[in-house]
Amino acid sequence: MNETSSVSKGCFVFKSASRKRKRQGVDGYMGDGSDDNGKDRFRICQDLRETVQQHTEVLQDQLNKKVLDDLVQFIKKHELCNSSDVRRQGAREIPTAALMLGVNVPDHTMTFRSLCNLLQESVTPFVVSLHAKGCATVKFLIQRVLEQLMGRGMALDEEQDDETALHLNTQCSIGDLCQWYNSVKIRPHRILERSIKPEVKNNGLYWSLPIVVIFKDFEAFNLQALQDFILICSQYTQELPLIFIFGIATSPITIQHRLPHSVSSLLCIEVFHSLSCTQHLACVFDKLILTSKFPFKLSSRVIQVLIGIFLYHDFSVQSFVKGLQLSMLEHFNSQPLSVLCCKKQEALLRAKTLSQKNVERIRHLPSFMRYVETQEPQDQVLLLTSDEHVKEVCQKLLKNLHKYHKNYYPILQCLYSLTSLLPKCPMGKHIRELHVTCNEKNVWEMEEYHSAMQLLRILAKDELVAALRECAGILKSANTKKMQNVLKQVDEFVVRLEELDNLHTEDLPGDDVACSRKDIQRRTDLHYLQKSLLEKESRKTRKMSSFEILRNEVLQYIDELVREYLTPAELQPLSEVCYYSSSGVLRQRLNAAPRTSIQAALSHPFHYLQNEALKTNDGTVSSNAPDLCIIYKLHLECGRLINLYDWLEAFVTVSSATEDKEADSEEYNKPKNLKNACFIQAVSEMEFLGFVKSTKQKTDHVARLTWGGC
């Protein structure tokens, strides 16, 4: 039934899918009621979601911190300019911050939210954030501003509430805003009292609190309205300390492209760049995927799907996280054994109390089977017969799995830190690529890995030391026994490398290092590298400097580490418990293809109505398929314009292919007009689905709206 589910769900946009899950009651959740621990899975899943969500938000704030602080500084600076009345020539210039946000529009809202909060608590209560939607004309634009400012102000002291209400809907001009602002200045508002930090109060600056106007989506604004608004505001710069913030998705060029000189000369623009979304993703990836904090893992394929969607379709980190959460849901939904996918202790407890059904399930896990085969015969028997034993083993395995994760990530990072400094990064620019490769197959059997190792072998000493130091740094944070040992080892290597040169510098052949240096400098193409490597080999046979010996030793060690710890996750027994691997489903969910699904439905009705009669070999259409399907199949043969009459004829012949054998004439034409009716209806359905539309060019013809034979 997979196709059916895929097609039907494929039509949904992914967002609503996740929402629906949340809204559904707990019991209605987790598929088959036969299962006892649906609730638990749901709970685990929920708090996992929560934690992930929190993490991302925290992360977001950290990442935006810099640019936001810059903005605040900028505003404060201008605030001072305003308060101290040094009115330069350019006094009419309105300070404007152009905030570059990148094209990942979905992520902007979060940024703006945090920006607003930050401003309101640290700089000024008067923050207006405008959306292009509400501001078709300058009138509305001004109205929005006034509503947001005065509305807020008045909301606090009600006695003027109605008064302003009428104010707003009669005629609103910036002039009114001025009056209001002055009134606020004179008898400081309660908002001010609350929101202003004492020191600001003390130095009496707060009568010049700036009014910040944020244009969230600069590109979408109506030009005329925007220009007029700026012109108007520039009239009032003396009275109102206005500050603009343009949220720009594309590039700063748009400003001078969209504003004529007469307007742009009224602005005093500074550009601020927020973190690029790719960097952003990298951080999120580190914090959410490459960590043993979360028991839930993604298999390499799923990661590829998510990354692909990110890189190819939308640069939106939000939707990446959403995807992660969705896969979480899917995992906990589809995999009953995911009860075990939680913190170590908890998992062990659950493992003790596994239901008989689940034990069976465990037995059928491929990874578990693989494990079983490795055991001695009697153990195998035990494993296949006694549930208790299985539970024992399972606990042990779970422990191992957690250990594996604990060790995997540090080593991965070490390897990355080593390989990333190689030219043309043979193991991939980003750590995620390395992670994926490691997760898929044995790294050490890969071509790239070997070439990388080769390159490492000709690494100069200082570079090597630096790299090792870095690794040591990474390992410090990892707190398993094994890792500590590794750390010791690495440190020791470092020490030895250090003392190497102050021990016997003289017999260290300068030329060797020199030439290796040279290589490093003009390592350009791999081809050249191979050559150099080969001659190195040959030279090595001749003589080996102690450094080289040591270097090889180090690399040897690293290689061992890789072989030990970077084994692909699939091989780990019970990996299915934590790893979500059904990438196909995920792709269908996140990257829905409504057209294809509809077309699939129409061309292969069998998938929906599981009716043997409809089973056809491709190309042909069975006569007792639904009319719509027949019509569809027929129209695929036609060109851009379809003659309705021919179509009808074809339809009649096809659909009456079966019965007109035994049909004799007088009852044959009765269904005829019935057929016409069917035909008409089917065609209208086609039109409704957007495959055809009636055309002016030719009466009794319809135009095809899809192209090609698809």
Partner 1 sequence: MQCAGYPEDKLRSLADRLPCRETQVTTLLSLMGEPDQYSYPSIFIYGHRATGKSHVVFSVMKDLELPYTFVDCVECVSPALLFHRVLLAFFGPDAAASLPRCPSLSDFVRLYKQMSSKTPATQTRFIILDRAERTRDMDFSLLPALLRLQELVSDNVTVILLSQVVWEKFRPNTGCFEPLLFHFPDYNKADLVQILSRDHHPSYTPELYASYINILLGVFFSVCRDLRELRHLAALNFPKFCEPLEKGEAKESDIHKLWRNIEPHLQRAMQTVYLREVSSMQWKEQQMDEKETTTPRGLSAHAHIELPYYSKFLLIAAYLASFNPARTDRRFFLKSHGKIKKTNFLKKHEKTSNHLLGPKPFPLDRLLAIFYSVVDSRVAPTASIFSQIMSLVSLQLLTQIGHDDQLDAPKYKCAVSMDFILAISRTVNFDAVKYLYDFL
Partner 2 sequence: MTSKRKSTALTEAQCVSLAQKILRERLCQQRLPEQPVGLESQYRHLLELLKRTAVHGESNSVLIVGPRGAGKTMLLGCVLRELMNLKEVLKNVLQVELNGLLQTDDKIALKEITRQLHLENVVGDKVFGSFAENLAFLLEALKSGDKSRSRPVLFILDEFDLFAHHKNQTLLYNLLDVSQSAQAPVAVVGLTCRLDVLELLEKRVKSRFSHRQIHLLNPLSFTQYVEAVGSQLSLPQDFPHPKFCDEWNRSVTKLCEDKSVEELLRRQFNSSKDFRSLYMLLFLAVIRVSPSHSTLRESDLLEASRLISADSKANILHGLSVLELCLIIAMKHLNDTYDGEPFNFQMVHNEFTKFIQRKSHTIHKFEKPVVMKAFEHLVELEMVRAVDSATGKVQREYQLMRLMLEHGQVMEALQKYPQCPTDVKQWALSAFA
Distance CA 545, CA 50 (A): 56
Residue 685 Cβ vs partner 1, minimum distance, rounded to whole Å: 15
**How many chain residues touch partner 1 (CB under 8 A)?**
66
Bridge partners of residue 272, in order along the sequence: 99
Could you say which DSSP state residue 479 is in? -
Beta strand 692-694 with 701-704: parallel, antiparallel or unpaired?
Answer: antiparallel
Convert residues 243-272 into a mask of x (bound to partner 2 by CB under 8 A) and - (unbound): -------------xx--xxx----------
Could you say which DSSP state residue 45 is in? H
How many C-alpha atoms does 705 have within 13 Å on its Cβ side? Answer: 11
Residue 120 Cβ vs partner 1, minimum distance, rounded to whole Å: 24
Distance CA 128, CA 146 (A): 9
Convert residues 677-696 into a mask of x (bound to partner 1 by CB under 8 A) and - (unbound): -------------x--x---
Does residue 222 belong to the site contacting partner 2 (CB under 8 A)?
Answer: yes
CA angle in degrees (0–180, nearest 5) for 102-108-111: 115
Buried b (16+ CB within 10 A) or exposed e, 116-132: eebbeebbbbbbbbbeb
Distance CA 286, CA 564 (A): 22
Q: What region, left, alpha or beta, does residue 428 occupy, with left being phi > 0 and alpha being psi -120 to 50 degrees?
A: left
- The set of residues, in sequence order, having a beta carbon less than 8 Å from that of 343 and lying 6+ positions away, is 295
Residue 247 Cβ vs partner 2, minimum distance, rounded to whole Å: 21
Distance CA 161, CA 171 (A): 16
> What are the C-alpha distances in Å from 592 to residues 14, 301, 318, 588?
8, 18, 18, 5
CB nearer to partner 2: pick between 256 and 477: 256
CB nearer to partner 1: pick between 101 and 472: 101
- The residues in 271-290 that bind partner 1, with binding defined as CB under 8 A, are 271, 276-278
Helical ranges in 126-235 per DSSP H? 138-146, 152-156, 161-170, 174-186, 190-195, 198-202, 223-235
Position 250: which residue type? T
**How many chain residues touch partner 2 (CB under 8 A)?**
7
Does residue 250 belong to the site contacting partner 1 (CB under 8 A)?
Answer: yes
Bridge partners of residue 245, in order along the sequence: 97, 214
CB under 8 A: which stretch of 94-102, 145-153, 295-303, 394-402 binds partner 1?
A: 94-102
Q: Which one of residues 24, 251, 610, 611 is an interface residue with partner 1 (CB under 8 A)?
A: 251
Could you say which DSSP state residue 482 is in? H
Does residue 594 belong to the site contacting partner 1 (CB under 8 A)?
Answer: yes
Residue 113 Cβ vs partner 2, minimum distance, rounded to whole Å: 30
- The residues in 12-41 that bind partner 2, with binding defined as CB under 8 A, are none
CB nearer to partner 2: pick between 93 and 346: 93
Residue 61 partner contact from partner 1, partner 2, none using kind-dependent CB cut-offs of 5 to 8 Å: none
Tokens of 672: 């005829």
Residue 269 partner contact from partner 2, partner 1, none using kind-dependent CB cut-offs of 5 to 8 Å: partner 1
Beta strand 211-215 with 242-248: parallel, antiparallel or unpaired?
Answer: parallel
Residue 613 partner contact from partner 2, partner 1, none using kind-dependent CB cut-offs of 5 to 8 Å: none
Q: How many CB atoms lie within 10 A of CB 333?
A: 17
CB nearer to partner 1: pick between 14 and 29: 14
Tokens of 271: 């550009």
CB nearer to partner 2: pick between 257 and 672: 257
Does residue 223 belong to the site contacting partner 2 (CB under 8 A)?
Answer: yes
Does residue 489 belong to the site contacting partner 2 (CB under 8 A)?
Answer: no
- The residues in 163-182 that bind partner 1, with binding defined as CB under 8 A, are 170-171, 173-175
Residue 87 Cβ vs partner 1, minimum distance, rounded to whole Å: 12
Residue 98 Cβ vs partner 1, minimum distance, rounded to whole Å: 8
Q: How many CB atoms lie within 10 A of CB 637?
A: 10
CB nearer to partner 2: pick between 263 and 471: 263
Q: Which one of residues 59, 98, 123, 566 is an interface residue with partner 1 (CB under 8 A)?
A: 98
Distance CA 284, CA 487 (A): 26
Q: Which one of residues 31, 90, 134, 510 is an interface residue with partner 1 (CB under 8 A)?
A: 90
CA angle in degrees (0–180, nearest 5) for 81-212-170: 120
Does residue 91 belong to the site contacting partner 1 (CB under 8 A)?
Answer: no
How many C-alpha atoms does 189 have within 13 Å on its Cβ side? Answer: 28
Tokens of 668: 């044959």
CB nearer to partner 2: pick between 220 and 549: 220
CB under 8 A: which stretch of 58-66, 308-316, 559-567, 666-674 binds partner 1?
A: 308-316
Q: Which one of residues 40, 70, 147, 228 is an interface residue with partner 1 (CB under 8 A)?
A: 228
Residue 136 Cβ vs partner 2, minimum distance, rounded to whole Å: 11
CB 139 within 8 A of CB 312: no
Q: Which one of residues 55, 76, 139, 152 is an interface residue with partner 1 (CB under 8 A)?
A: 139
Binding site for partner 1 (CB under 8 A): 13, 77, 88-90, 93, 95-96, 98, 100, 102-103, 105, 137-139, 142, 170-171, 173-175, 217, 219-220, 228, 231-232, 235, 249-256, 261-262, 264-265, 267-271, 276-278, 309, 311-315, 591-596, 690, 693, 705-707
Binding site for partner 2 (CB under 8 A): 222-223, 256-257, 260-262
